[in-house]
Chains A and B, each alone.
Chain A
């Protein structure tokens, strides 16, 4: 076994980030390959960890950090699949960034001199490392304070990348993103500190001692409030459409992860240790989730801007996971996690394809697009695949996720309320089909706009942009057709409930 395996997955990207900072003058534009190589390495490490966990030995590493605060890393059946998929998405998007960032810098800072451009270039790539580090940190964390720290850490690269490379009104949106992120994180902190005051420890493994404690209700409520802000649950979704849409598209896929990873935190920190106390929240969560699903979908249907469309769709997609978590049965929780993974895969492809469209044509308004399939077949295939994954067309991971999720949800409440929530939940996926495939029709099908007909620049993007996304699509099909390893891993933890 490789020593310090889990620590490496966190530390190596940090070291690589420092490396970029130090050598940016020497390496110049070549630094952009550092994230790709580093993340390929950590993905390989996670694969090795995955094999070990699959064979039945969870990996735990404990380091001391300060008095009362340990620094533990735990890769078990729940955290590892999540971490692995997230890391793969980060890797894919680091390849995708290679051309995209260059294009973005050219658009925004094209008039600056070479040196300034170079400094923006390096800034992006070292900031990029903070994403995988924070995501993996949240996944592997063993105490509440670590989770809080990594959640807050995520906001930093988001803020800077937004204000350096974002789209319309980028400074205002960056501040908005920062404030909402901090507020959400602060609620998590309140909850964690409250938990500490009750049990004298931040460790997740001791959280179960709080079961039955009257304060537990408030602890759960505070942490949930914070996480709902991240997950953009109605009515806390206000930040999502602008922040998600105006980000440079190369990290937009990561923003979906940023929002959706809260689902993992809910399972890890609240449902697993405090199952009985969490039951009170079950039905309200399901109702909120259903509202958000429908509201988000209707919001998405109203969009003409291709990036905003993807952004709004995240609101409703995240709530499917939340619906599963609220139902609190083994299958529904497993389904919620599986759907989360399927969603981030699908959304990364969908959003990045939207990015490709914007990169190639420079147009965001879907009414001005049309017929692009004749010029950009690969992008059209990518978009349709993503739409299929998000909608849950049979044989994709979305379908399997939907199946597991909703059989669980049906089992939760054999009453009319529960049954109607479940039925409405499945039926509302038809809205997903309408907006994803409808957008495909508006962008890629129909007659080709005459102004594109003779434009040689309108063609499929360079391979570094399309191939990573195709690989993500293949992964989605693999876990859709053969979910057993994943489900066995997840079941090894959640099945204990």
Chain B
């Protein structure tokens, strides 16, 4: 394994960062502003993707930035696992940008410059997290991500620069969501920092290493468990129960933001951090030796089941999707907590796959809001007749979520299932199955209502009136959501698209130890 020094990670990070300034510069010219976003996102994806062949060949790319003090190194390192997340977020950024243009313009949203700038900053944070070599660098981007998403979450409640604040109920709700979001995630960031300092004290370094940097000899079992608790509190972004409630509240944000939050940046960063900690700080072996795997798997199993049950009760489509995300994120935690090859492989695959499927679902929900203004599932009877493309994409996403082939959710769940068998635990397999079943329970009524429900004004004679004409969202929104749906299928048929499967296998092979 050769270490190659290259500036590519820095370039990848600087794309969205420079883009922020360009967006602010062209705030008066919306078309140029949006082309900046598009250009930056495409460039970033190309840069990130150009690193993939090098990594697949078994190398590691490093890019040291600067050292402030002993332990405070800012350094990038691209390894297989980080690259998966980087590819996912940078690719989805392209699609979400296009979708945002359609969404924001159709709804004539205010403060679009702030919106695009914060969006780019959030991607900056997410890709930075993916490419960090150590906890300190990661912490920096982690906080950047938290802060940059706040204006996005509270978008509807924050007035445009220099304007008066809106006093409507919706605005108040958005402001509340923003406050809640900050309260949870900033607190969480602090726990993360405590954990980092403690890790540095125990291990003398904060670099991610295959097989972990902590050992049984580092500290007593109690201290290692306390540290893990701190780390878990530090990753409230992963929305594990009982620290999940910020996520459904954050649905007050515009839909592209929800898509970003749920599929690309924020929550994925949370689970990414957990995987990093389990596999690269503690190491699989240590996790098993001190019994942390069992604790993590219990948390994950609890969240999977309870969140799915809560999803069934939601009528608001976005809220239902939010609870679905909480449940699906725990699949990833679940897979990692199994502490074996198949489980970790399933977890790592689920990060990009869930991203693609969930973003499809959210973009569909947003398209429905833009076209019809309907937010609740119960109002969506017959919507599949007027918006066939959208609802087909939605169906693809929903099938994938429930783990039905030929959508990529099947593959990750397959590996998770194998993982439970490898762990010799039929109980866990049962949890996985029940949870998948619950996914079907809350997704299929939507599909059923959409395609087979009778819209208002529908007459038996079948004459076409206003309510049954095809009425899709703009092309800017339609293309991205169709693309992600198609990609969800492609990933199932050819899991090695974008080298994803190779990268995952490489990452898992590198873990060593008990795997």
Contact = CB atoms under 8 A, between A and B. Distances in A.
B is a partner of A: yes
Contacts of A484: 69
Interface in A386-432: 393-395, 400, 403-404, 406-407, 410-411, 414, 419, 422-423, 426-427, 429-430
A56 B159 CA distance: 57
B165 interface: yes
B197 interface: yes
Contact of A483 (B69, B165, B194): B69
B200 A407 contact: yes
A447 B230 contact: no
A481 B71 contact: no
Contact of B198 (A410, A430, A483): A410
A430 B186 contact: yes
A484 B70 CA distance: 9
A74 B190 CA distance: 40
A427 B190 contact: yes
A404 B223 contact: no
Contacts of A423: 194, 198, 230
A72 B69 CA distance: 34
A483 B72 CA distance: 11
Contact of B139 (A394, A406, A426, A480): A394
Nearest to B163: A447
B193 A487 contact: no
Contact of B201 (A400, A410, A487): A410
Contacts of B422: none
B140 interface: yes
Interface residues of A, number: 28
Interface in B129-166: 139-140, 143, 159, 162, 164-165
A430 B165 contact: no
Given A433-B186, A480-B68, A407 B201 contact: yes
Interface string B342-360: 0000000000000000000
Contacts of A218: none
A374 interface: yes
A404 B194 CA distance: 13
A184 B413 CA distance: 69
A446 interface: yes
A482 B194 contact: no
Contact of A427 (B72, B165, B191, B223): B191
B372 interface: no
Contacts of B497: none
Interface in A151-167: none
B50 interface: no
B190 A429 contact: yes
A406 B219 CA distance: 18
Contact of B194 (A393, A426, A481): A426
Contacts of B471: none
A393 B68 CA distance: 14
B114 to A, nearest CB: 13
A interface SS class: helix
B378 interface: no
Contact of A426 (B69, B71, B162, B190): B190
Interface in A407-466: 407, 410-411, 414, 419, 422-423, 426-427, 429-430, 433, 446-447
Contacts of A433: 186
B72 to A, nearest CB: 6
Contacts of A422: 197-198
A483 B187 contact: no
Nearest to B147: A393
Q: Which of A400, A406, A433, A446 has the most CB of B within 10 A?
A: A406
Contacts of B164: 447
Contacts of A483: 68-69
A484 B230 CA distance: 30
A482 B68 contact: yes
Contacts of B186: 430, 433
A407 B140 CA distance: 18
Given A400-B68, A407-B201, A427 B194 contact: yes
A458 to B, nearest CB: 15
B228 to A, nearest CB: 14
A112 B320 CA distance: 72
Q: Which of A407, A410, A414, A429 has the most CB of B within 10 A?
A: A407
Contacts of B139: 394
Given A410-B201, A419-B223, A426-B193, A374 B162 contact: yes
A483 B69 CA distance: 7
Interface in A357-390: 374
A447 B165 CA distance: 7
A481 B140 CA distance: 14
Q: Which of A393, A403, A422, A480 has the most CB of B within 10 A?
A: A403
B197 A406 contact: yes
A131 to B, nearest CB: 31
A410 B159 CA distance: 44
Contacts of B200: 407
A446 B69 CA distance: 38
B194 A394 contact: no
Nearest to A392: B193
A414 B219 CA distance: 9
Contacts of B219: 414
Q: Which of B66, B72, B186 has the most CB of A within 10 A?
A: B72
A446 B230 CA distance: 34
B190 A403 contact: no
19 contacts: A374-B162, A394-B140, A400-B72, A403-B71, A407-B200, A414-B219, A419-B226, A422-B197, A423-B230, A426-B190, A426-B193, A427-B191, A430-B186, A430-B187, A447-B164, A481-B66, A481-B68, A483-B68, A483-B69
Interface of B: 66, 68-69, 71-72, 139-140, 143, 159, 162, 164-165, 186-187, 190-191, 193-194, 197-198, 200-201, 219, 223, 226, 230
> 10 nearest interchain CB pairs?
A410-B201, A426-B194, A430-B190, A394-B140, A406-B197, A423-B194, A483-B69, A407-B201, A447-B165, A447-B164
Given A403-B69, A410-B201, 15 more contacts: A394-B143, A400-B72, A403-B71, A403-B72, A411-B201, A426-B193, A426-B197, A427-B191, A429-B190, A433-B186, A446-B165, A447-B164, A447-B165, A483-B69, A484-B69
